[in-house]
């Protein structure tokens, strides 16, 4: 009897276990991945998402492009392979775009596909403005992904991937709204809805235009359900709360960024989302550390941007006309135009060449104040050849306590003391015939040969002077300011119809303003505050990019030579005098040669790009002699 009862118990236990397994299998089937795209191609990779239990974990990658920085996106994928989310979403801008050249487009996608091939989990695409810049790129996207907007469900959650370029940038069409309406109606009982788009259309200060009425209609359709929204585009992180729901603007995963830190929303990161019974938990994972997702909110992001954008540290360059000798003086200008008090700590460690006094100082800068600090730079080895330009690296550390917070928010920037000398723009005895033939030039004293001063080496290996090098000169007469550049390039590659910086070309930036605007210039407002003159080999005058925006009477010619190509520019002296309000005394010049080898562009700057972090005051100054 006992044996029979024990047998019945075992049978009942097995039946119960099988019923439990069947129920679990039914739940897994009910919550399994289902997409509304059935024909190839599909806008995702690896065919679907494996189902395990009700807890859902996925990751999101922010903008990869809009100023692509190599290696960051690939590094993020390596992190994801360690973290093993169930799948990975994005918020668009995966390629640089802004071209119609099929070869360039295919090269961009080849780079992206090579990185995505390393990802061990499915990846779902969302289009951004760089991905859909023009009809050629839109057609390529559709050929590769099939759909511009779509949805899928997984573990009883709905995922909506929208196109915020429909029918134009920062817009959503009525057809797409109808699609959202139908999709939501078909999935009324999901436990959560996640929405992904590129432009943060709810935040007019972060988008190109006022909020799209179609987006407001979509918000109304979402109002009766729990949901979360993710966007990108601005490259600055912020968390918003609208209608009681969380909206996230993600920063970057390799897109253009100053990387000044989480306190001002500029950092590379992954976003990790875990959906459980209590709703989603969102975490930001920078490449190397974890950051709380409310490090910046819709309130503090404005406060920190106000502080960060209005606190400046400027160190005057030491411009040496007759050599340095033993000592030189310079000055630090601290400007705090923000609404908060900021503490600035400056540090200048000595090296074998220079010593700065004071080497460490802490300054309280009240809101709306400006301070000036004199610095004495001593040369420790006066007899040694220092080489100009020369830079001593220091640091500027900032602290601010925002209203309602106890702990200071901090960030840090490099602080360079640069020693340089102005170059000469001598007077010519005869005018230049602007034709690209440089035999009229007796000397080209300025040179670039493999390395831009103060800048790290280019990632592409330089193959020597025949690969790319150049010399140039600046001269004048009573009528024109002349510039000549002679480029050595063993393989001159031209892509007609493309921008100058997408092929072999020369970019000359010329700032003719009076000081201090000229010396303090940061390369902004091309064709207004400064001239951009960028011919490619074989071009002259009106064929040159932006020629119609240059001063009347400007002449440009760029011709091939036996060793590469050469260019000449002539800018009317009358224009210089008019801008400076007097007879001109100096100008500021920078040269960049774009060297295209295969599919790789190397920019060869004579002085650091004025638009970049290594720009220093008065770099590239040419004085009238």
Q: What is the DSSP string of 201-216?
A: TT-TTTSSSSPPHHHH
Phi, psi of 276, rounded to the nearest 5 degrees: -120, -165
Return the bridge partners of 158, or none: 153, 193
49 assigned to some structural domain: no
Q: Please report whether residue 521 resides in a domain.
A: yes
Same domain, 542 and 591: yes
Express as a percent the part of the chain with pLDDT over 70. Answer: 92
pLDDT digits (tens, 9 = 90+) for 179-191: 999 999 999 999 9
Note whether residue 35 is domain-resident: no
Q: Say if residue 532 is in the same domain as residue 410.
A: no
* 348 and 441 share one domain: no
H or E segment and range at residue 116: helix 102-116
pLDDT of residue 326: 78
Q: What are the pLDDT digits (tens) for 60-85?
A: 999 999 989 999 999 999 999 999 99
Backbone φ and ψ for 44, nearest 5 degrees, come out as -160, 170
In a domain? residue 592: yes
CATH of residue 253's domain is: 3.60.21.10
Does the CA dihedral 329-330-331-332 come out positive or negative?
A: negative
Which residue in this structure is represented by tokens 């922010």? Answer: 62
Q: What is the pTM of this model?
A: 0.72
Instruction: State which H helix or E strand residue 138 sits in.
Output: helix 135-145
CA 443 to chain centre: 39
Q: How far apart are the C-alpha atoms of 514 and 579, rounded to whole Å? A: 7
Tally of CB atoms within 10 A around 311: 22
Do 114 and 229 reside in the same domain of the chain?
Answer: yes
Q: What is the CATH number of the domain that holds 455?
A: 2.60.40.1190
Domain count, the chain: 3
> Do 222 and 100 sit in the same domain of this protein?
yes
Other CB atoms within 10 A of residue 15 CB: 10
User: Which of 275, 298, 321 is a domain's end point?
Assistant: 298
Does residue 325 share a domain with residue 203?
Answer: no
Report helix, strand and coil shares of the chain as percent, to nearest 5. 20, 35, 45
Mean pLDDT of 358-380: 94
CATH of the domain at 387: 2.60.40.10
**Token pair for residue 396?**
């500027």
Residue whose tokens read 């109002």 = 223
Same domain, 315 and 445: no
The residue out of 298, 325, 353 marking a domain boundary is 298
Within a domain: 7: no
In a shared domain, residues 473 and 605: yes
Q: Are residues 374 and 346 in the same domain?
A: yes
User: Domain boundary at 396, 420, 444, which?
Assistant: 420
User: Rounded to whole angstroms, how far apart are CA atoms 153 and 88?
Assistant: 14
pLDDT tens for 83-139 read 999 999 999 999 999 999 999 999 999 999 999 999 999 999 999 999 999 999 999
CA atoms within 13 A on the CB side of 521: 29
Model confidence over 278-308: pLDDT tens digits? Answer: 899 999 999 877 788 889 999 999 999 999 9
Domain carrying residue 387: 311-420
Give the tens place of pLDDT for each residue, 504-555.
999 999 999 999 999 999 999 999 999 999 999 999 999 999 999 999 999 9
Quick one: 337 and 443 in the same domain?
A: no
Contact between residue 255 and residue 62 where contact means Cβ atoms under 8 Å apart: yes
Closest CA to 190 of 243, 154, 244, 150: 154
Q: Classify residue 39: in a domain, yes or no.
A: no
Minimal CA–CA distance to 67: which of 147, 133, 130? 130
Q: Is 31 part of a structural domain of the chain?
A: no
Dump strand ranges (E) for 445-501.
Answer: 446-448, 469-476, 480-488
Give yes or no: residues 438 and 408 share one domain: no
Summary mean pLDDT of the chain: 90
Q: Strand 505-511 relative to strand 531-533: parallel, antiparallel, unpaired?
A: antiparallel
Q: Does 425 sit behind a cis peptide bond, omega within 30 degrees of 0 on the bond before it?
A: no
Rounded average pLDDT over 355-368: 95
Is pLDDT above 80 for 38? yes
Are residues 167 and 278 located together in one domain of the fold? yes
Among 184, 178, 185, 132, smallest CA distance to 159 is for 184
CB count in 10 Å sphere of residue 391: 19
40 domain residue, yes or no: no
Lowest mean pLDDT among 16-30, 263-277, 491-505, 526-540: 16-30
């Amino acid at each position: 009897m006992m044996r029979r009862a024990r047998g019945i118990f075992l049978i009942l236990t097995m039946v119960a276990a099988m019923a439990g397994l069947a129920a679990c299998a039914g739940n897994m089937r009910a919550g399994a991945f289902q997409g509304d795209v059935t024909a190839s191609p599909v806008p995702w990779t690896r065919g679907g998402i494996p189902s395990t239990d009700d807890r859902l974990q996925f990751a999101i990658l922010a903008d990869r492009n809009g100023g692509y920085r190599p290696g960051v996106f690939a590094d993020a994928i390596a992190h994801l392979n360690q973290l093993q989310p169930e799948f990975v979403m994005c918020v668009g801008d995966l390629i640089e775009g802004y071209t119609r050249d099929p070869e360039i487009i295919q090269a961009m996608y080849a780079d992206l596909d090579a990185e995505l091939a390393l990802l061990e989990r499915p990846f779902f695409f969302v289009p951004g403005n760089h991905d859909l810049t023009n009809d050629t790129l839109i057609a390529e996207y559709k050929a590769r992904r099939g759909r511009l907007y779509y949805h899928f469900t997984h573990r009883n959650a709905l995922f909506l991937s929208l196109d915020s370029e429909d029918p134009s940038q920062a817009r959503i069409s009525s057809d797409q709204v109808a699609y959202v309406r139908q999709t939501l109606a078909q999935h009324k009982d999901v436990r959560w809805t996640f929405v992904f788009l590129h432009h943060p259309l709810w935040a007019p200060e972060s988008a190109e235009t006022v909020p799209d009425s179609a987006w407001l209609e979509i918000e109304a359709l979402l109002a009766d359900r729990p949901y979360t929204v993710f966007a990108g585009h601005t490259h600055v992180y912020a968390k918003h709360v609208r209608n009681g729901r969380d909206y996230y603007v993600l920063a970057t995963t390799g897109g253009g960024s100053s990387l000044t830190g989480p306190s001002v929303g500029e950092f590379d990161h992954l976003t990790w989302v875990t959906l459980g019974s209590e709703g989603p938990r969102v975490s930001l994972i920078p490449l190397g550390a974890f950051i709380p997702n409310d490090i910046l909110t819709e309130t503090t992001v404005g406060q920190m941007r106000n502080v960060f954008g209005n606190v400046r540290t400027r160190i005057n360059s030491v411009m040496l006309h007759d050599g340095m000798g033993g000592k030189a003086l310079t000055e630090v200008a601290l400007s705090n135009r923000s609404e908060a008090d900021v503490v600035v700590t400056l540090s200048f460690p000595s090296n074998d060449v220079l010593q700065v006094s004071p080497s460490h100082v802490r300054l309280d800068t009240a809101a709306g104040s400006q301070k000036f600090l004199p610095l004495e730079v001593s040369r420790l080895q006066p007899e040694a050849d220092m080489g100009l330009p020369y830079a001593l690296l220091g640091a500027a550390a900032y602290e601010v306590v925002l209203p309602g917070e106890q702990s200071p928010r901090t960030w840090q920037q490099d602080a360079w003391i640069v020693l340089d000398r102005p170059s000469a723009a001598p007077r010519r005895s005869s005018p230049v015939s602007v034709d690209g033939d440089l035999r009229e030039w007796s000397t080209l004293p300025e040179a670039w040969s493999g390395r831009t001063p103060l800048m790290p080496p280019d990632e592409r290996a330089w193959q020597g002077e025949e690969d790319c090098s150049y010399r140039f000169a600046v001269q004048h007469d009573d009528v024109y300011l002349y510039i000549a550049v002679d480029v050595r390039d063993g393989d001159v590659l031209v892509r007609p119809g493309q921008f100058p910086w997408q092929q072999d070309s020369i970019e000359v930036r010329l700032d003719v303003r009076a000081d201090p605007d000229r010396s303090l210039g940061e390369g902004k407002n091309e064709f207004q505050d400064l001239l951009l003159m960028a011919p490619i080999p074989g071009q002259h005058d009106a064929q040159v990019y932006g020629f119609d925006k240059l001063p009347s009477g400007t002449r440009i010619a760029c011709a091939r030579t036996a060793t590469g190509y050469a260019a000449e520019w002539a800018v009317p002296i009358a224009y210089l005098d008019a801008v400076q309000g007097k007879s001109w005394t100096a100008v500021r010049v920078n040269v960049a040669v774009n060297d295209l080898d295969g599919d790789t562009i190397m920019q060869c700057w004579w002085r650091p790009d004025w638009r970049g972090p290594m720009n220093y005051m008065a770099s590239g100054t040419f004085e009238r002699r």
